[in-house]
Amino acid sequence: MEIAQAEARVEAHSSALRKELGVRDLVLTQILFIVGLAWIGVAGKLGPSHVILWLLAIALFYLPSAAVVIYLNRLMPLEGGLYQWAKLGFNEAVGFILAWNLWLYVVVNTSEIGLQSATYLAYALGPSAAWMTKSTWFVVVATIAILTLLVVVSIVGLSVGKWVHNAGGIMMLLIFGALLLLPIISVLTGHLHGYHPLRSAAPPFSLYTVNILAKMGFGALGGFEYVAILAGETRAPARSITRSVWIAAPVIAVMFILGTSTVVAFIPANDIDLIGPMPQVLRVGFAPFGIATQLVTLAIVMSLGIRVAQASVNFTGITRLPMVAGWDRLLPVWFTRLHESYRTPVNSILMVGVTSLVIAMLSLIGVGQAESFQLLFNAGGTFYALTYVVLFAIPIFGLRGLKPRPPLWLRIASFSGLIMTLGYVVLAVFPIIKVASVASFALKISLLIVGANVLGALIFLSARRPRSV
């Protein structure tokens, strides 16, 4: 009854939003949002054992996350997605802190877009453009230009934004299509002596293997829940989002496993470039055909387009959370104001854009300091992982008033995903680069995460106080 009443209240607010998204848009957005180009390099470092670890990550995290998202979205197909699920599954406090962590993750992630774009351009244009990544003014201009684009696209709404996301998803499929065809073409033309994409070997049991497994789980395969934030802007969200997960899940799994197999086929494990494994393998694989340079340049330019489209998905989704929190009077009603023509939360969009720009400018103070970047990167990933801890906890510990209870198989799957996510959170405290002190780094990131959540709790308590008077 409580869920039905809450659903009616949210849908009353959502009726003012435009229903722009269909199954095709959601599938392409799922592929764009979840697939990360760097993960085929990380997994490639494992050699043939990558197949077993991918399958373990799929079984222990990927499929459980898909099942939980489908279940909760069918139960509560509401604008705000995971925020609404946590609020109704537990309470407003858990929902607010979850939204706060998701908001922090996206703002940190988006603030890096200028520096990442400069890196892509430097790769595409060659050694003569290496200055771009070291030029503060260029990174500042790139950051301002891209954030302005994200703000404009988000204000105009998903009538335009969905085409940006669709284009990014299509570019992702095209790049992986070239990657998956490369070894087949090379074998047929005699440039590769053999290709065994599913050849596997048992991975060694070590802390490093467990670390990589956790990262291949949550780090590479997380993201199915994100499009549910836009449920109120989706046509028939309970059905459409479910179908998008069913369609996208096997496609993404094939992309990761066979994409990694291509890297392993062409690049020795010790030589894999973890920053740009895609252009590296395309350059090596297509070199005998005389088109490697052109393909690599095109792939890098497309990768930049993909990164901007991914940032647009992140940005669009996160701007809806202050709006739905405003519906619940946990934030000022100012955040709920919709643009008169486009029916988008214009004040929330502007606030997220300005915040991302401020954090981006502050982060540039430490450009070139690898430890500072690693601290920010690990913290951002941990903020997102904490939202998944809540996601998997809902079917196990939440929804106490729901009859019937979530099925036993779903609770077992949720427990598996919860353990994988907690493993990621624990291991994210430790750096993957050399730092002056591992203990000091772990303490800094722990204090940053705890401090950020204490701040979120204080904001929530200040929002609740006037309501209890």
What residues contact 125, with CB distance under 8 A and at least 6 apart? 132
Number of continuous H segments (helices) and E segments (strands) in the chain? 20, 0
pLDDT at residue number 92 = 92
Read off the pLDDT of residues 303-353 as tens digits, 9 standing for 90 and up: 889 999 999 999 999 999 999 999 999 999 999 999 999 999 999 999 999
Q: Is the link from the previous residue into 404 a cis peptide, with omega within 30 of 0?
A: yes
> Stretch 239-259: mean pLDDT, rounded?
96
CB 306 within 8 A of CB 171: yes
The model's pLDDT over 166-192, given as tens digits with 9 standing for 90+, comes to: 999 999 999 999 999 999 999 998 888
Q: Where are the alpha helices (DSSP H) in 45-191?
A: 50-57, 63-75, 82-89, 92-111, 113-125, 136-156, 158-188
Backbone angles phi, psi at 272, to 5 degrees: -70, 130
Q: Are 273 and 111 contacting, i.e. CB atoms less than 8 angstroms apart? A: no
Q: Which residues pair with 234 in a beta bridge?
A: 21
Q: Which of 425, 427, 82, 53 is nearest to 253 (CA)?
A: 53
Q: What is the pLDDT of residue 414?
A: 97
Report the pLDDT value the prediction gives residue 372, as an integer from 0 to 100.
56
**Shortest CA distance to 95 belongs to which of 324, 319, 313?**
324
pLDDT at residue 365 is higher than 70: no
Residues 95-125: tens digit of each pLDDT: 999 999 999 999 888 877 887 788 788 877 7
What is the residue whose two structure tokens read 């720009």? 357
pLDDT single digits (tens) 130-149 = 788 778 888 889 889 999 99
CB-based contact 41:193 (threshold 8 Å) = no
Structure confidence at residue 469 (pLDDT): 41
**Which pLDDT score is estimated for 369?**
46
Amino acid 359 reads: I
Q: Torsions phi, psi of 234, nearest 5? A: -115, 140
Residue 275's identity, in one-letter code, is: I
Measured in residues, the chain has a length of 469
pLDDT tens digit sequence for 146-170: 999 999 999 999 999 999 999 999 9
Residue 392 has pLDDT above 90, yes or no: yes
pLDDT confidence band for 429 (50 / 70 / 90): confident
Instruction: Give the three-state DSSP class for 21.
Output: strand
Residue 12, pLDDT > 70, answer yes
Please give the residue that has the higher pLDDT: either 465 or 433.
465
**What b/e sequence results for 291-310 when a residue is b if at least 16 CB atoms lie within 10 Å of its CB, and e otherwise?**
ebeebbbbbbbbbbbbbbbb
Q: Read off the pLDDT of each residue in 345-373 and give the average, rounded to a whole number.
A: 76
Q: What percent of the chain has pLDDT over 70?
A: 93
The pLDDT, as a whole number, for residue 128 is 82
Domains, the chain, ordered by start = 2-368 (1.20.1740.10)
Q: Are 376 and 428 in contact (CB under 8 A)?
A: no
Mean pLDDT across the stretch 415-443?
79
Say how many Å lie between the first and final Cα of the chain, rounded.
27
Query: What is the residue-wise DSSP string for 184-224?
Result: HHHHHTTSSS---TT---PPP-SHHHHHHHHIIIIIHH--T
Answer yes or no: is pLDDT of 370 > 60.
no
Q: What is the model's pLDDT at position 198?
A: 86
When pLDDT is cut at 50, 70 and 90, the band that residue 295 belongs to is confident
- Cβ neighbours of residue 399 closer than 8 Å, sequence gap 6 or more: 88, 89, 405, 406
CB 373 within 8 A of CB 119: no
| Residue 394 confidence (pLDDT) above 80 | yes
Tokens 């996301």 belong to residue: 165
| pLDDT of 30 strictly over 80 | yes
